[in-house]
Structure formats: C-alpha cells, structure tokens
Amino acid sequence: MTDTLIQGRTGPWEIVLGLEVHAQVASRAKLFSGAAVGFGAGPNAQVSTVDAGFPGMLPVLNRFCVEQAVKTGLGLNAQIHRTSRFDRKNYFYPDLPQGYQISQLYHPIVGEGALEVERDDGSTFTVGIERLHLEQDAGKSIHDMDPHSTYVDLNRSGTALMEIVSRPDMRSAEDAAAYVRTLRTLLRALGTCDGDMEKGNLRADVNVSVRRPGEGLGTRCEIKNVNSFRFIMQAIEYEARRQVEILEDGGKITQETRLFDPGRGETRSMRSKEEAHDYRYFPDPDLLPLVLEEAWIEEIRASLPELPAARRRRFAEQYGLTAYDAGVLTAEDERAAYFERAAGGRNAKLVANWTVNDLLGRLSAEDRGIAESPIPPETLGELVGLIEEGTISSKIAKTVFEKLWAGEGSAREVVEREGLVQVSDTGALEAAVDKLIAANPDKAEAVKSKPQAIGWFVGQVMKETGGKANPAVVNALLRARLGID
Amino acid sequence: MAVDAETVRRVARLARIAEPEARLDPLAREISGILGWIEQLNEVDVEGVEPMATAVHATQPLREDVVADGGDPARVLGNAPRSDDGFFVVPKVVE
C-alpha cells in the first residue's frame, strides 16, 4: 500500500479515512409521520404537524423503514439488535422545528458488520462497519431568496435516513470512493435506498486524519455532506494535504467540522457548528424501545436478493468473466439481468465484451441507463451468436451493431438484408488471393522470410471483399499459397 | 453535584434562554440543590437491573408505509409569524 502514501517535505504520511454515509430510506412516507417522501413537491406540501414540530404531536415509527434498516444490516453481514432505542440529539436551527433530531446514539438497530469492496483492478479490501442507525433528516434552509430572511421548506424534515458508519479502514481517496460505490450498489440491489446522489438521497461525511506510517491515529477533521464520488476524492486529497502542511510546519490539527467547497476545490472550517457540539443526547420519552421478533428478522433474511458481491463471484466463475467485467455488469441489477438474458447459450465472454465495451460505452455517451437500451438483450445475444457461428466477422458486427442501435430489426434480419454474410466460400476467396499474389510478387517473396507481413495480404483481401471475408479462411488460404506453416 | 455560574451560563445559552448576569449565581445554587436531592437516588442498589427508558410496558406500535398526511401547506404555515410563497420565513441565519 506504499503507493497511497503522501510524500511530504519531511517524509511519508498515511491518510486514514472513515465515512458516515447517510442513505435515504426508499419509503413512501416519513420515519415517524404519514407525510409523503419525495423530490420536487411545492414548499411545505409534504409536511405533517409531526414533521413541523407542533406541540403535542407524537411520532409513530414506520414499519417499512425498520424493515429496510434490518435488510441493509443483513446485507452488510451485520449484527441485528433485537432491541434498539431512539434518542434526542438537541440543537437549534430553523430547519429543525422539533429542536432535536430523533436518532439512535446509544442503542442502534444494527451493530458491527463488514463490506468487501472491490477496486477497479479487481483487488479487494474489507471495510469494517461500526453501526447502522435510523434517524430523521432535517428540512431545507434557503438563504438567497431574501437579503434579510431565511426561507424554510420542511418537506425533507422527518424523512428516514440510515446512517452507516464505517471503521477508519480506508487509506486513499480512491478506496473511499470505491467503498461508497460498493455500498451504493448494495443499497440499490437491496432496494432499501435509490442511491441518487444528485438528489442528496445518498451523501457522505468524511473523517480525514493523517499519521506517520505505523503510528497511532492522528486528530481528525470531519468534512460534512459530500455528495458525489468526484467531490469525495477531491475533498480528501485537499484535506489530507492541508493537514500534512500544518503538521510539517510544526502545527497541530484542531478537531473540527469542515465544509467542502466544490467551486474552489477546498475545505473550510464551519465555525458556527463548534458551539453546537454539545448535543445533550437523551432517550426520547415519546418512543418506546423497538423490539424485533426473531421471526421477522428471519423473514427479511429469506427475502434478500442475490447480493452484488456474490453475484460478482458467480459471474466470474460461471461465465469466466474478468474481475473488471464482472464488476461492471453487477454494479446495477438491470445490467446483470440484461447480461444474463443476452448470454443464455452464447459465448458469455464475448457477450460481456459487447455489453461492457460497445453497449454500455454507447449508452453512457448518451447519458442513458441500460433500461433505455434501444437494443434488447436477446438481439445482442443473437449478434454474438452470428459472430460465434462464423456468419459475420467481428468487424462487420460493429456495422450491424450500429444498425441495431438505430432500431433496424433483429441481428439476422440486418445481416441478410444488407448482404453482410461473411464469405467463407473458398472458391471465391481463392480467386481474390491468387489475384493479389500475382499482382504483388515482391511482397509475396518478402512474406516467406517475414511471416508476420501476412497481415498486409489479409487486409487487402478484407478490403477487396468489403470486410465480408472470413479472416480465418483468408489466413489459411494465404498460408497455403505463400508456403508458410 | 454542584453547578457553578459558568455552567448555568452555558446551559442557558444551549437552551436559548437569556439569563441576566445577576441571576446566574442564585440559579447555580437552586440547580445544585435539585441535583443534590436527586442524587439521593444513587443510594439505591440497582446492581443487575436493566436501565429503564420508559415506565410504559408496551411494545413500540408501528405504522404502515402509507401516505396519509401532509399536502396542506396552509395548515402547517397557519401559526407561523411570517410566511411567503409556501415557505416559513425566519430572521436570516448565515452558515
């Protein structure tokens, strides 16, 4: 792991990272009220008197949200606590009308677990999960609608969040991003959170500290609410460098909360939060302890879908895919389903190549997901089938792919209509090969001492036949005619 | 447990209660008295007793995930001293 160290003026430093990910539960209603959860509604249109903190209103816990927390806990191989409790975290802010956030500090619903994370190169590492707890989200303050006032929209107030706290197990910005990516894939596969970072439905607080390799943990700073993979990496890189510079100048790191400014690519102190750090947590007297029946937990366990890590391993083993392809194809449920439908009975590695390189490449260039693919999986499978049986070459297949993308029919229809069937007929190809050798006696002579020059001849025959010649047949013919073994 | 004027000042600030300087010492004495009285409970032997969060012997009731509330901004804004265009309006708080 030496490549992840920061080289300072006075020697190397190691970055230590722990993340708190806030994942919005994919519920219809809020954690403690019957108001709707959703994006884009008019201001305060999704607010009940509970969410607005009216006096005397009592919270009633949403069963579905509890189930999603348990499901996520099981997906993280974590301990599910049969008894958990809710606490009040007290602070004043206009978008927190209750004057406290209901959270689970002392007795979270989910305890220790672990997540196996895969890097792009296929290597893996494990991130320890410290806990997962349920809590309420706050509302939204808007500071730019009026020069003297703050406008408050409570639509988000009371929305259920799962806070997933990792151990400080990551050592580079890339690994932190890989962790969030893997966690997001898991949440989406479980269906417990939609993972939409643009809408703020998944966001991370990043704890950053640095130390000399082998030494104890340094003082950490917490960067709040970072909501994209790119910003997570930028914030970490900047913050780690800032800390190294302070320490190398003989200074000390002050434990504090910082904000990442994407415009400037830097973190800065949120001094206003300093004083509020005394949250005076205490058990919420409005809520009884949450006791889970073992039977319910088992029922939830039985409903778990195949998880991304298991699916990735299965794809690698069953289909012989590379770690990279298996990772890409299992990153989303829809991708995995698409691939499996296209690969049925075909050369799976070839199907994986076409799915990852051609189809996903093309889709992402147009900012579309695989669900919006103009080419159905059966059609892509058919295309690969035509390559496998030698009806078309890989090169012609690219042309066919373009026509399939444009919606011009099935693979076989396109090939027949456009006359793209590969020429494997020896007679026709022999004539072309003979003509070519006769016209280029010097090159034919040269190939005998330099066999790799045969490529030029193959290229010429392909050109002659408009790319339709079967390259394997052409190669064999040329070798025979030119006297190469 | 004794509480001093400085602690009272901090607690009052956290609770957003304005206490004049002259009230801090008398309040510290009063609060210390209350805490001392409550501290008598420490004499009870609670060895092996599960900490209690509530006196109610019932399990947590759960609601179904159904939208059955909200959708009435005028109602939640009804008591607000100021509102505009569906928003609560409060004095500027700058982050």
Decide yes or no: CATH 1.10.10 for domain A426-482.
yes
The reply to whether B81 touches chain A by the CB within 8 Å rule is no
Q: What gap in Å lies between CA A42 and CA A155, rounded to an integer?
A: 8
Model pLDDT, residue A272: 56
Q: Is A151 on the interface with B (CB under 8 A)?
A: yes
DSSP label at B49? P
| A43 with B87: Cβ contact below 8 A | yes
Question: A309: distance to nearest CA of chain B, Å?
Answer: 30
pLDDT in tens, A235-261: 999 999 999 999 999 999 988 899 999
Cβ-Cβ contacts under 8 Å for A92 (sequence gap 6 or more) = A99, A276, B16
Q: What is the pLDDT of residues A297-316, one digit of tens each?
A: 999 999 999 998 899 999 99
- Mean pLDDT over the full length of chain A: 91
Looking at residue A300, its pLDDT comes to 97
A484: left (phi over 0), alpha (psi -120 to 50) or beta: beta
Per-domain residue ranges for chain A?
Answer: 2-300, 306-417, 426-482
CA A128 to mean position of chain CA atoms: 19
Q: Which chain B residue shows the shortest CA-CA distance from A271?
A: B95
Among candidates A71, A166, A170, A91, which has minimal Cα distance to A136? A91
Report how far residue A450's alpha carbon sits from residue A434's, in angstroms, rounded to the nearest whole number.
19
Residues of chain B with Cβ-Cβ distance to A145 below 8 Å are 87
Q: A442: exposed, middle or buried (C-beta count within 10 Å: 0-12, 13-18, 19+)? A: exposed
Residues of B with Cβ-Cβ distance to A152 under 8 angstroms: 87-90
* Mean pLDDT score, A123-139: 96
Give the separation between CA A388 and CA A75, rounded to whole angstroms.
39
Q: Name beta bridge partners: A202.
A: A23
| H, E, C per residue of chain A | CHHHCEEECCEEEEEEEEEEEEEECCCCECCCCCEECCCCCCCCCCCCCCCCCCCCCCCCEEHHHHHHHHHHHHHCCCCECCEECCEEEECCCCCCCCCEEEECCCCCCECCEEEEEECCCCCEEEEEEEEEEEEECCCEEECCCCCCEEEEECCCCCCEEEEEEECCCECCHHHHHHHHHHHHHHHHHHCCCCCCCCCCCEEEEEEEEEECCCCCCCCCEEEEEECCHHHHHHHHHHHHHHHHHHHHCCCCCCCCEEEEECCCCEEEECHHHHHHHCCCCEECCCCCCEECCHHHHHHHHHCCCCCHHHHHHHHHHHHCCCHHHHHHHCCCHHHHHHHHHHHCCCCHHHHHHHHHHHHHHHHHHCCCCHHHCCCCHHHHHHHHHHHHCCCCCHHHHHHHHHHHHCCCCCHHHHHHHCCCCCECCHHHHHHHHHHHHHHCHHHHHHHHHCHHHHHHHHHHHHHHCCCCECHHHHHHHHHHHHCCC
pLDDT over threshold 50, residue A232: yes
Enumerate residues 6+ apart whose C-beta is below 8 A from B69. A29, A33, A34, A35, A48, A49, A50
Nearest-Cα distance to chain A for B83, in Å, is: 8
Beta strands at A61-62 and B62-63: parallel, antiparallel or unpaired: parallel
Could you tell me which residue, A230 or A420, shows the higher pLDDT? A230
Q: Which one, of A368, A70, A292, A297, lies nearest residue A190 by Cα?
A: A70
Higher pLDDT pick, A457 / A178: A178
**Candidate ranges A36-40, A322-326, B10-14, B64-68; pick with highest mean pLDDT:** B64-68
**Shortest Cα distance, chain A CAs vs residue B26, angstroms:** 23
Task: Name the closest residue on chain A to residue B56, using Cα atoms.
Answer: A288
| Per-residue pLDDT at A1 | 45
Burial class (CB in 10 A: 0-12, 13-18, 19+), A23: buried
Q: How far is B82 from chain A (nearest CA, A)?
A: 10
pLDDT of residue A274: 55
Other beta carbons within 10 Å of B2: 11
Tokens, residue A107:
């007795």
pLDDT of residue A434: 86
pLDDT at A3: 62
Q: Rg for chain B (alpha carbons), in Å?
A: 22
- The low-confidence residues of chain B, meaning pLDDT below 70, are 53, 95
- Please report the sign of the dihedral spanned by the C-alpha atoms of residue A49, residue A51, residue A52, residue A57: positive
Chain B residues in contact with A45 by the CB 8 A cut-off are 70-71, 73, 86
**Closest chain B residue by Cα to residue A285:** B54
Question: Which chain B residues have a beta carbon less than 8 Å from that of A49?
Answer: 69, 75-76
Cβ distance of A63 and B62 shorter than 8 Å? yes
pTM of the model as a whole: 0.81
Beta bridge partners of A102: A88
Give chain A positions within 8 Å (CB) of B76: 44, 47-49, 52, 54, 154
Q: Does B80 touch chain A (CB under 8 A)?
A: no
A140 touches chain B (CB under 8 A): no
Band the pLDDT of A332: cuts 50, 70, 90.
confident
> What pLDDT score was predicted for residue A2?
42
The whole-angstrom separation of Cα B1 and Cα B37 is 10
From CA A467, how far away is CA A423, in angstroms rounded?
9
* Residue of chain A minimizing CA distance to B60: A288
Going by pLDDT thresholds of 50, 70 and 90, the confidence category of residue A401 is very high
Please, is A113 exposed, middle or buried when counting C-beta atoms within 10 Å of its C-beta (0-12, 13-18, 19+)?
A: buried
Mean pLDDT, range A168-182, rounded to an integer: 96
**How many CB atoms neighbour CB A208 within 10 A?**
28
* pLDDT for the residue numbered A375: 95
C-beta separation of A326 from A125 below 8 A: no
Asked whether A101 and A138 are in contact (CB, 8 A), the reply is: yes
CB within 8 Å: A288 and B94: no
Q: Judge whether B59 is closer than 8 Å to chain A, CB to CB.
A: yes
Q: Does A134 touch chain B (CB under 8 A)?
A: no
Choose between B5 and A441: higher pLDDT: B5
Is residue A273 pLDDT above 80, yes or no?
Answer: no
In this structure, what are the phi and psi dihedrals at residue A20, rounded to the nearest 5 degrees? -115, 110
**In this model, does residue A184 exceed pLDDT 90?**
yes
Chain A CB contacts of B52 under 8 Å are none
% pLDDT > 90, chain A = 66
Chain B partners within 8 Å of A148 (Cβ): 91-92
Chain B residues close to A47, C-beta within 8 Å: 70, 73, 76
Portion 371-400 of A in contact with B at CB < 8 A: none
Q: Which residue ranges make up each domain of chain B?
A: 5-42
Judged by CB atoms closer than 8 Å, whether chains meet at B89 and A63 is answered as no
The minimum CA-CA distance between A372 and chain B, rounded to whole Å, is 30
Structure confidence at residue A170 (pLDDT):
96
